[in-house]
Amino acid sequence: MGIGDAVVLNDPIAGQGSNCASKGVHLLTARIAEREGPFDAAWMEAVFAEHWERDARWITAFSNLFLEPIGPAAQEILLAASRVPALADEFFEAFNNPQDLWPWIEDPKGARRHIAERTGRPWIATAASARFAVLRGKLAQALRRGAPAVG
Ligand SMILES: Cc1cc2nc3c(=O)[nH]c(=O)nc-3n(C[C@H](O)[C@H](O)[C@H](O)COP(=O)(O)OP(=O)(O)OC[C@H]3O[C@@H](n4cnc5c(N)ncnc54)[C@H](O)[C@@H]3O)c2cc1C
């Protein structure tokens, strides 16, 4: 029976490897304790399939989210999170349970609906204020770079 990196190996970019391994071990020990039949190949495959569906596939998708060019839904969520602490908290909480971000983290319409639900106002208002804040930050940075040295 495989556990940890031996069966689910992700890029460490999102710090999910031990998270995944410990969730797998937790499930495995529970299934061992309750098992009355043999610990045969079919049982091992069923336990792994349960681990994959429950946690590992979301952990893998979450890790890959950080590796690939960011998709439009995740981009909108992160922009909104830069303005709305509740959305930022929710995103960081997903490091514990990545599945909580699905399906809307990969679905632009779902992401917009989610932002509107969390903020209680049209998503476009949050999107506009986040983009304005980014532009303001970039402008301030450019002005600082262009400013003559003091002293
Ligand atoms: C750079 C980096 C950063 C990471 N950051 C994070 C993080 O922030 N959060 C997080 O959750 N995860 C992180 N991970 C992933 C995490 O370290 C792994 O997912 C986790 O350690 C996997 O545990 P494991 O027990 O499956 O394997 P391992 O920790 O690799 O343990 C396997 C052990 O088996 C031993 N071994 C190998 N072959 C044999 C043999 N033939 N006989 C006896 N012993 C053997 C090895 O020496 C090793 O001690 C990171 C990984 C890397 C590389």
With a CB cutoff of 8 Å and minimum separation 6, the contacts of 128 are: none
C-alpha to C-alpha distance for 84 and 107, rounded to whole angstroms:
20
Residues 37 and 95 in one domain: no
Give the model's pLDDT for residue 36: 96
Residue 19 CB less than 6 A away from ligand 1: yes
The answer to whether the CB of 127 falls within 8 A of the CB of 79 is: yes
Which residue's CA lies nearest to atom 8 of ligand 1? 15
pLDDT by position in tens, the chain (length 151): 899 999 999 999 999 999 999 999 999 999 999 999 999 999 999 999 999 999 999 999 999 999 989 899 999 999 999 999 999 999 999 999 999 999 999 999 999 999 999 999 999 999 999 999 999 999 999 999 887 766 5
Question: Taking the model in full, what pTM does it have?
Answer: 0.87
Alpha-carbon distances of 100 from 77, 80, 93, 94, 95, rounded to whole Å: 13, 17, 9, 6, 10
Distance (angstroms) between ligand 1 centre and the Cα of 5 equals 7
Residues 90 and 106 in one domain: yes
Residue with tokens 């950080």: 66
C-alpha to C-alpha distance for 35 and 91, rounded to whole angstroms:
36
* 151 is a domain residue: no
Which residue's CA lies nearest to atom 1 of ligand 1? 12
> Which numbered atom of ligand 1 lies nearest the CA of 9?
19
Residues 58 and 10 in one domain: yes
Residues 38 and 89 in one domain: no
Q: How many domains does the chain have?
A: 2
What range defines the domain where residue 35 resides?
4-67
Which of 50, 67, 84 is the last residue before a domain boundary?
67
Residue 116 backbone dihedrals phi, psi, to 5 degrees: -60, -40
